[in-house]
Amino acid sequence: MTGATSLDDDEALWRLDLGSVNAYLVDDGDVTLVDAGTPRSVDDIRDGLSTAGYTVADVDRVLVTHFDLDHVGGLAGLDLDCPLYAMEPDASFLDGSRKPPLRNGKGLFQRVAGAFLTLPEGPVFRLDDEESIGGFVAHHTPGHTPGHTAFHHPELGVALVGDLVRESGGELGTLPWPMAYDKGRNRESVHRLAARELNFDVLGMGHGRPLPADGAEVLARLARAI
């Protein structure tokens, strides 16, 4: 079932359940949308925003964890009037200035999926590792895609990590190897992010139920196990 669910008592953090994938809405004075589902997610995102008390016009920025059809597919249909942020080379895939590589299986899949994707209009701003955007800090976590990014909000105690990990049956793990550019590098990114000892309770991922508590501890436990 799709919908919007508050992940904190102050209703500053919302999960937008888009069926097969999650997006997130964060209000820390600025309204940030993190990822935007598939091309078919546009109405569900609008409904989720409404449930949380917002409209598309209220969104001040979009943070993109990575370039995949199920994370950027709704951007063009939402007709957003705000800046988009992503890390290279995914940022160039998103604005069309560069195409995913054909020699990588995941890159080839992205090329094929591109036939079903309308790229958003407007500029895509490039992020660097550990760069701050409002209350968020961007952390480069390559592997699933080469520009994959996790976003940590220290004040709100949340990390939104895209497809770095997934939740299934109450357990945290990584996505199957065919879904990654480099499975080994994705594993290294889990280790590296956990080693940064970030402070967060809520861990939100692209697939599965967000962890409402002890997120940093659970991520560190996964890093020790893989």
pTM: predicted TM-score of the whole model, two decimal places: 0.98
Band the pLDDT of 44: cuts 50, 70, 90. very high
Is residue 74 scored above 80 in pLDDT?
yes
Query: Is the CB of residue 48 less than 8 Å from the CB of residue 34?
Result: no
Torsions phi, psi for 107 (to 5 deg): -60, -40
For the beta sheet containing 136-140, the strands, ordered from the edge strand earlier in sequence to the opposite edge, are 132-133, 136-140, 149-153, 158-160, 202-204
Question: Greatest CA separation found in the chain?
Answer: 47
Q: Total domain count for the chain? A: 1
Give residue-wise pLDDT tens across range 92-150.
999 999 999 999 999 999 999 999 999 999 899 999 999 999 999 999 999 999 999 99
Distance CA 207, CA 16 (A): 11
> Does 1 have pLDDT greater than 80?
no
Over pLDDT 90: what percentage of the chain? 96
What is d(CA 46, CA 2) in angstroms, rounded to the nearest whole number?
11
**Where residue 81 sits, what CATH number does that domain have?**
3.60.15.10
Q: What's the domain range around 217?
A: 3-225
Alpha helices in 29-104 (DSSP H): 42-52, 69-72, 75-78, 90-95
What is the tens place of the pLDDT at every residue in 142-188?
999 999 999 999 999 999 999 999 999 989 999 988 899 999 999 99
